[in-house]
Chain A
Amino acid sequence: MEAHAKTAHYADAGSEPGEKGLKKDAIGFLDGLIIGIASTAPAYSLAAVLAIVVVLVGVQAPAVMLASFVPMFLIASAFFYLNRADPDCGTNFSWITRAIGPSAGWVGGWAVCTTGIIVVGSLAQVAVYYSFDLLGLDYLRDSRLWETVFTIGVIGLMTLICVLGTELSAMVQRVMILAQVGALLLFAAVALIKVAGGDAPAGSIDPELSWFSPFAVDSASILVLGLLSGVFIYWGWESAVNLNEETEDSTTAPGLAAVVSTVVLLVTYVATTTAVVAFAGLDRVAEYEDDPGLFGAIAPDVLGNGLDWLVVLAIITSALSSTQTTILPGSRTALSMARQGAFPAMLGRVHPRFLTPHVSTIVTGALSAVWFAILFNVSENFLFDSLTALSLMIAFYYALTGIACTIYYRRELTKSVKNFLFIGLGPTVGAGILAYLFVKAIDEYRQTDQSYTGNELFGIAIPVVLGVGLLILGVVLMLTWRATGHESFFGRKREVVDPDVAAGRKAGVAAVPEEAV
C-alpha cells in the first residue's frame, strides 16, 4: 500500500486524480452494455464453437447455450463480491491469493495467463480464415502453410496493437459491437423465416421446443462435453458485472447494463444457434467441426450474396477487437504477479511511452505464435483441441474463484439470507458445477478420445494433454519458484474480508489479516 501513500502525497502537491483512483470519465449505461457484450465477443465465439457444440449434442445445441450460462451466472456473483472487496483489481490471481493462499493464487494467475496465450492463436486464426473468405482467396484459405504464415502475422500485429495501447474511439467501438449483434440477429431472423416459409435448402429442420431442453440430450456425458464448450462462449461475461465502481450511477446503471447485456447475449446465442441448426441441418453443420467456416458457408444462402459479407465482417471485427479485451487482462495479471514477486520482475515492466506492460505482452504474443504454429500443424482439429483445452482451464480458474469468494467472505455468510445465497451458495454451486465439468470431461476424453477427435498424444486425447498438462506445468513452476525463495510473496498470510466492506458501508481495499478478526 506504499504506492497509495505516495499518490496521496502527490495529490497534495496539486494533482487531480479522482476519488479512490477511479477514472475521471465514469462509464454510463450504454458503455456498460457495450463492455458486457464486447468482452465475450459473440460473433467470434459462435464462429469458433457452434459447429463443435452441434456435433456433440445435435439439435439440443440451443439448450446447451442456455444451460452453460447457469454456472457462469453463479460465478459472476463471486466476481461481483470479490470486486467489491478489492475493486479495479478484478483478477483471480489477487483474490485467490488473499482468500486461499499464495500457492493457489499463483496457479490461478498462471491459468489466466496461459488461457490468454491459447486464445490469441484462435482469435487470429478465425480472423485470417474469414478475411480470406471475404476476399475470395480460397487458395490461401485452404492452404495450411499460408494460414499459418498469415495467422502468425496477425498475432504479431495484435501484439503490437496491445503494446502500443491503441484504442479505438468509444464511438467506433459502440458501432462495431452493435453492428456485430445486429448482423447476427438479422442472420438468425432471416434464416428462421426462410425455414418457416419452406425456403430453406434441403436438409433444413423445423425447430421444436425440445431443442431448448438440456434434459433432451442423449447422454449425460455428451451434455457435459457440450456444457464445457459453452463455458467458452460466456468467458469474459463477468466484466459486465465488474463495472459497478466506475459507473455514473452506481446503483442502477451498471446493474441494468449487466442485465440487458446478458439478455442480449443469451438471445443472440440461442437465436443464432437455433437458426443455424434449423436452416442448415445437422449434416451440413457437422462438416465444419474442423474449421470456423460455418457462417461463411451458410450466410450466402441465408442473406443472399448481397448481404452475406455483413456476417463475415462481424466475425472478423469481433475476433480482432477482442484482442485488447483478452490480451490485456492476461498481460496485466503477469504484471501484477511480477510486481508482487510471483513472476520474474522483468514481466512487471511498463513501457515509458505507451504505459503498457510491454514485456509481458510481447512474451504472451511470442508464446501464442509458437503455440499456434506447433498445434495447428500437429493437431488434426486445431480449433476443437485448443478450445477444449481452453474451456478446461477456464473451468478450473473460475471454479477456484468461486471457492475463493465463499472462503474470503466466510464470516459474513450467516449475516443475511442474501449473503448466504449470493456470496456463499451461488459461487459454491457454480464452482461445484465447473469442477464437475472439469473432472467429468477429462474422464470422458480419456475413455472415449477415439470417437471425438481420434487425435491423441501419449495415448491421451490432445485437449486433456494440453489443458491438464498446462495446469500441471503451472504447479511444477509454482513449486520451483517457491523453492527458490521469493518469501515476500509465498510468505503472505491469508486474509478475510473486512466486515464493513462486506456490508457495503465502506469501499475496498480492505482486507484484514486472518488472525486479527
Chain B
Amino acid sequence: MGTIVLGYDGSTGADAALEEALLLAKQFDDRLVVCFGVAPPGNVGEEYKEHMQAVEELAQGATAKALERARSEGVDAEVALVRERAAPALVDLAAERDARFIVVGSHGEGPIRGALLGSVPHKLMQLSRTPVVVVPARD
C-alpha cells in the first residue's frame, strides 16, 4: 500500500483535487494524507505563536472536512499539519512518506497572477521529486 499526499486548504480548487485524489487512492488502494502547511508568513518573533494557532485552527477546520469526505468514500486517510509554507510542506512530507503522488488543485490563474500571488503548483514543479498531479478547479 502506497501513500498519496494531498495539498488541501478548503478552496474550490482543493475540493476538485480531493475528488481526484480519492479516485487515485481507490485505484491504487493507497492511503491518503491530507496536508496543510501551517507556517504563517513573516519570520520575526512577535506574536508568532498566536498567529500560528489561528492558522492551525483554520487548517483543522478545513482538513476535517476532507478527512470526513475520504472516510465516507471508504479511503484510509489521515491529516498532517506541517509547520512549513505550503510548497515545502508538501515536498518534505511526500519525500518522508515516499509518496506515489502529490495531488494539488490549481486556482486557475494565469502565469503572471500565479507568480504574484504565489502558485503552489508552480513551486512544486520545480521543487518536488515526487510526481505531481495538478487538478484544475471545476466551475
Query: Please, how many angstroms separate the alpha-carbon atoms of A87 and B52 in the complex?
Result: 13
B45 and A239 form a contact (CB under 8 A) = yes
Could you say which residues of chain A place their CB within 8 Å of the CB of B117?
164, 353-354
User: A16 near B80 (CB under 8 angstroms)?
Assistant: yes
The winner among B44, B62, B83, B118 for most chain A CB atoms within 10 A is B44
Contact yes or no, B50 A16, CB < 8 A: no
| B46 interface residue per 8 A CB criterion | yes
Complex Cα gap A24–B38 (Å): 12
Residue B30, interface by CB 8 Å: no
A255 → chain B closest CB, angstroms = 16
Given A23-B39, A164-B117: A239 and B44 interface contact (C-beta under 8 Å): yes
User: Are A352 and B48 closer than 8 Å at their CB atoms?
Assistant: no
Complex CA–CA separation, A94 to B62 (angstroms): 28
When C-beta atoms are compared, the residue in chain A nearest to B107 turns out to be: A353
Whether A87 pairs with B79 at a CB distance below 8 angstroms is: no
By beta carbon, the residue of chain A nearest B78 is A14
Give the contacting residue for B82; candidates A13, A17, A88; CB below 8 A: A17
Residues of B within 8 A of A325 (CB): 42, 44
| Given A328-B44, A332-B47: A24 and B54 interface contact (C-beta under 8 Å) | no
Min CB distance A76 to B, Å, is 13
Q: Does B55 contact A (CB under 8 A)?
A: yes
Cβ of B27 < 8 Å from any Cβ of A? Answer: no
The 7 closest A-B pairs by CB, nearest first: A165-B41, A332-B47, A329-B46, A88-B49, A336-B50, A328-B42, A15-B80
Q: Measured between alpha carbons, how far is A354 from B44 in the docked complex, in Å? A: 17
Determine the chain A residues whose CB is within 8 A of the CB of B98 once the complex forms.
Answer: none
Is A356 positioned at the interface, with any CB of B under 8 Å from its CB? yes
Using a CB-CB cutoff of 8 Å, which residues 309-336 of chain A contact chain B? 324-325, 328-329, 332-333, 335-336
Contact assessment for B41 and A16 in the assembled complex, using a CB-CB cutoff below 8 Å: no
A114 to chain B, nearest CB (A): 15
A39 contacts partner chain B, Cβ-Cβ < 8 Å: yes
Query: What's the nearest-Cβ distance from chain B to residue A273, in Å?
Result: 26
Per-residue contact bits, chain A 13-45, to B (CB 8 Å; 1 contact, 0 not): 111111001011001000000010001000000
Contact of B60 among A10, A21, A348 (CB under 8 A): A10
Report 9 cross-chain contacts, Cβ distance below 8 Å, ordered by A residue: A3-B57, A15-B82, A94-B50, A164-B116, A165-B41, A166-B118, A332-B48, A350-B40, A353-B11
Q: How far is the CB of B54 from chain A (nearest CB, A)?
A: 5
Q: Which residue of B lies closest to A9 (CB)?
A: B60
Determine whether B93 belongs to the interface, using a CB cutoff of 8 Å to chain A.
yes
Q: Is A6 at the interface (CB under 8 A from chain B)? A: yes
In angstroms, how far is the closest chain B Cβ from the Cβ of A167? Answer: 6
The answer to whether A356 and B40 touch across the interface, beta carbons within 8 angstroms, is: yes
Q: Which residues of B contact A103 (CB under 8 A)?
A: none
The interface residues of chain B lying within 8 Å CB-to-CB of A88 are 45, 48-49, 52
Write the nearest CB–CB distance from A89 to chain B, whole angstroms: 5
| Nearest neighbor of A348 in chain B, beta-carbon distance | B54
Whether B57 contacts A15 by the Cβ 8 Å rule is: no
Chain B 59-95 interface residues, beta-carbon cutoff 8 Å to A: 60, 62, 78-84, 93
B79 contacts A15, CB within 8 Å? yes
Q: Quick check: B47 and A324 within 8 Å, CB to CB?
A: no
**Is B15 close to A, CB under 8 A?**
no
With both chains docked as a complex, state the minimum distance between the C-beta of B47 and any C-beta of chain A, in angstroms: 4
A14 touches which one: B39, B43, B80 (CB < 8 A)? B80
**Interface pair B96/A16, CB less than 8 Å apart:** yes
Residues in A with CB closer than 8 Å to B58 are: 350, 352, 355
Asked if residues A354 and B81 are in contact (CB atoms below 8 Å), the reply is no
Known A14-B78, A325-B44; contact A89-B49, beta-carbon cutoff 8 A: yes
Give chain B nearest CB distance to A378 CB in angstroms: 31
Contact status B93-A16, CB under 8 Å: yes
A267–chain B nearest beta-carbon distance, Å: 23
Interface residue from A24, A93, A242, A336 paired with B45 (Cβ < 8 Å): A242
Asked whether B51 lies within 8 Å of A357 as measured between CB atoms, the reply is yes
A329 touches B54 (CB 8 A): no
Minimum distance in angstroms from A431 CB to a CB of chain B: 19
A7 in contact (CB, < 8 A):
yes
Q: Does A419 contact B (CB under 8 A)?
A: no
CB of B114 within 8 Å of the partner chain? no
B residues near A329, Cβ cutoff 8 Å: 44, 46-47
A13 contacts across to B, CB distance below 8 A: 78-80
Q: Is A115 an interface residue (CB 8 A)?
A: no
Measured in the bound complex, the distance between the Cα atoms of B50 and A336 in whole Å is: 6
B10 within 8 A of A: yes
Chain A positions within 8 Å of B79 at CB level: 10, 13-15
CA distance A6 to B60 in the complex (A): 9
Chain A min CB distance to B121 (Å): 13
The answer to whether A91 has its CB under 8 Å from any CB of chain B is yes
Is the beta-carbon distance between B49 and A352 smaller than 8 angstroms? no
A339 within 8 A of B: yes
Closest to B42 in A: A328
Contacts of B53 in A (CB 8 A): 3, 339
